[in-house]
Amino acid sequence: MNETVVLKDLQINAGDNILVNKTSIVIEEGEIFGLVGESGSGKTLTAKAIINLLPKGLSYSADEIITAGKNMLTASAEEKKEHIGKNIGYIPQNTVFYLHPMIKIKNQIGDGYVYHMHKTKKEALEKAEALLYKVGFKYPKIVLNYYPWQLSGGMRQRCNIAMALMNDPKLIIADEPTTALDSTVQRQVMDLFRTINEEMKLSILLISHNLGLVKHYSHSLAVMYAGQIVESGYTNTVFSNPKHPYTRLLIEIIPSFKIKKDERLAEIPGLAAENGRDIKGCVFFKRCPKAMDICKEMVAEHIDDKHDHYYRCNLK
């Protein structure tokens, strides 16, 4: 068993306010790992903690962060930078400004490849061209000569995807990678992810609001709620036998499997807590249809022997 990512007991704070709490994730090598949850539940921050990209104002602590084989808690800043740059591809959630607006695609898509893989710019452009073709551009040469603002949102997203794939990384973090894409291109990109995942044993952390997508493509998944992971495990297991009431509601109530982006779930009454994410009891208490008195005081963690199904709930 080889893990690409081990995250143990992550906590992220903004001053006194806890944003992410008691979050643990294990992504096996060659696995597509889905991370789902409502807007604001802490998915992006969790992903950023893995790649040392948390915004300056936030502080974090964790028992363990291992990213593509390197211990992020003991590595020096320079080591982290080199390691992440070489081994991880990052597809940010909102790609509009992640490409430099004043630099042509060809001058920014390959510089990481040139730097880490010791290639020439020409080799980088050849690789970029091939990847751009794979993400659905019919004429990648033209795209390379464009500035980002000459491309639509979906095109920029695909450029970011191609850029993330340049180094043949060990891990790709894809934060809502297909939101700006229409359904055909979305399929194409997701199938590409699956192909490279299978061919190159590359691990993918797939963050999405789209439960259907995660169900279809991921091997394992975690459900996040108000800064905590409430349930995780193999995708088949979780979908066939959801334990946490929140997971159940997500699966049962929303037939389309789509949690609307930037919207709270109307189907489940109440709101995900913005504050008080460090309470002793269950974070879902206020909205839970099956809440019991004890849920205010404590919450039981269930981990089965094979570590393949985890949930935090007092229900049996």
Partner 1 sequence: MLSYILDRLKSSIVVLFVVSVITFFVLMIIPGNPAQLILGTDATPEAIQELHAAMGLDRPLYQQYLSWLLDLFTLDMGSSYVYGESVTALIARSIPVTFSISIFAMVMAVFIAFLFGIISAIKKNSIADYFSRSIMQLGAAIPSFWIGMVFIVYFGIKLRILPVSGFVPIEQSFAGFIKSILLPSVVLAIGEVGTLLRIIRSSMLDSLKQDYMDMARVKGLSTGKTYIKYALRGALTAPLTIIGMQFAKLAGGTVVVETIFALPGLGRMVLTAVEHRDIVLLQGLVMFITSTVIIITLIVDISVMYLNPRIKSFQQGEL
Total residues in contact with ligand ATP, by rule CB under 6 A:
16
The answer to whether residue 40 forms part of the interface with ligand ATP (CB under 6 A) is yes
The answer to whether residue 16 forms part of the interface with ligand ATP (CB under 6 A) is no
Q: 258 contacts which partner out of ligand ATP, Mg ion, partner 1, none, CB within 5 to 8 A by kind?
A: none
Q: Is 253 helix (H, G, I), strand (E, B) or coil?
A: helix
What phi and psi values does residue 259 have, to the nearest 5 degrees?
A: -85, 125
Answer for which of 22, 43, 83, 158 binds ligand ATP (CB under 6 A) is 43
Q: Which is nearer to ligand ATP, 126 or 274 (CB)?
A: 274
Q: Can you give the three-state secondary structure of 119-173, one letter per residue?
A: CCHHHHHHHHHHHHHHCCCCCHHHHHCCCHHHCCHHHHHHHHHHHHHCCCCCEEE
Half-sphere exposure of 137 (CA within 13 A, CB side): 24
Cα–Cα distance between 177 and 206 in angstroms, integer? 8
Cα–Cα distance between 296 and 170 in angstroms, integer? 41
Residue 276's identity, in one-letter code, is G
Q: Which is nearer to Mg ion, 44 or 87 (CB)?
A: 44
The answer to whether residue 92 forms part of the interface with partner 1 (CB under 8 A) is yes
CB 264 within 8 Å of CB 281: no
Residue 15's identity, in one-letter code, is G
The answer to whether residue 247 forms part of the interface with ligand ATP (CB under 6 A) is no
The answer to whether residue 10 forms part of the interface with ligand ATP (CB under 6 A) is no
The answer to whether residue 93 forms part of the interface with Mg ion (CB under 5 A) is yes
The answer to whether residue 94 forms part of the interface with partner 1 (CB under 8 A) is yes
Q: Which is nearer to ligand ATP, 63 or 274 (CB)?
A: 274
Which residues here bind ligand ATP, judged by CB under 6 A? Answer: 14, 19, 37, 39-45, 55, 57-58, 93, 262, 274
Which residues here bind partner 1, judged by CB under 8 A? Answer: 51, 53, 81-86, 88, 90, 92, 94, 96-103, 111-112, 115-116, 137-139, 142-143, 146-147, 149-152, 155
